[in-house]
Amino acid sequence: MRRRTIPTTMQPDYIRWRAVAVGMTYEQVSDLLGESQRVMENSRKTGKPYYLFYGSLRISSTPSRWFYRFVVGFDKDEKVWMKSDPFGGVLSDDGKPSKPQILIPLEGATFSHFPRILDVRWTPSSGDYPMKYEVEIAFAAISGIREGGHICDTFVGVAGPYLAMGIPGMGPYRVRVRGHNLKGAGAWSDDRHFEFLQ
């Protein structure tokens, strides 16, 4: 028996994806994006709301089985009521990685657990795939990364939008991340600040 090979990345054309808007009809979306990759929940023929997939990213390095999808939701009148993509609507114009957004830790979070293990998660970057990430963590009490402060660690070649790391000591820290692909490095995310109290 042959196993089906599922592509790791299927993305719609970003210009066409941007054109999809709330209130559009099924036919208008089909004219823009073509046939959907897959139907979620109820199908079109039931007369109930339904969701269609127009692409996905399969990232095997994340700790849970999670699919990042391009989804369009239609109401019972077959009009778009929602649109969602893996990048939070931030799409690359030239194939270079877009600026990611850190999801966790939350800004200003404090931790008191030991050992000091921290999960960092961010939205994936849009752009040409395959994509890798660079994660930089710094001790925030020193003058700062950009002004010559001490960088505690840099992780290069992270495969997906997730990294679990050990924190060397207590105190305030900050973390940032950026995507890399064959077209180069994208913009750094905004700094996210957190602190270990012990």
Domain boundaries, the chain: 9-84, 102-196
Give the Cβ contact number of residue 122 at 10 Å: 25
Here the tokens at position 124 are 């994936």
Predicted confidence (pLDDT) at residue 131 exceeds the cutoff of 90: yes
**Average pLDDT, stretch 98-119?**
95
Q: What is the pLDDT of residues 143-192, one digit of tens each?
A: 444 444 556 788 999 988 999 999 988 889 999 999 999 999 999 999 99
Lowest mean pLDDT among 26-40, 89-103, 162-176: 26-40
pLDDT value at residue 139:
84
Q: Are 54 and 67 in contact (CB under 8 A)?
A: no
**Domain 9-84 = CATH 3.40.50.2000:** no
Burial of 167 (0-12, 13-18, 19+ CB in 10 A): buried
- Listed residue (119, 103, 96, 35) closest to 68, CA to CA: 103
Query: Class of 102-196 per CATH?
Result: mainly beta
41 vs 31, residue with greater confidence: 31
Here the contacts of 33-36 (C-beta below 8 Å, separation 24 or greater) are 33/72, 36/72
Burial of 86 (0-12, 13-18, 19+ CB in 10 A): buried
pLDDT value at residue 2:
45
Predicted confidence (pLDDT) at residue 65 exceeds the cutoff of 80: no
Q: Are 52 and 41 in contact (CB under 8 A)?
A: no
pLDDT value at residue 62:
58
Lowest mean pLDDT among 5-9, 115-119, 155-159: 5-9
How far, in Å, CA of 71 to CA of 52, rounded? Answer: 6
43 vs 18, residue with greater confidence: 18
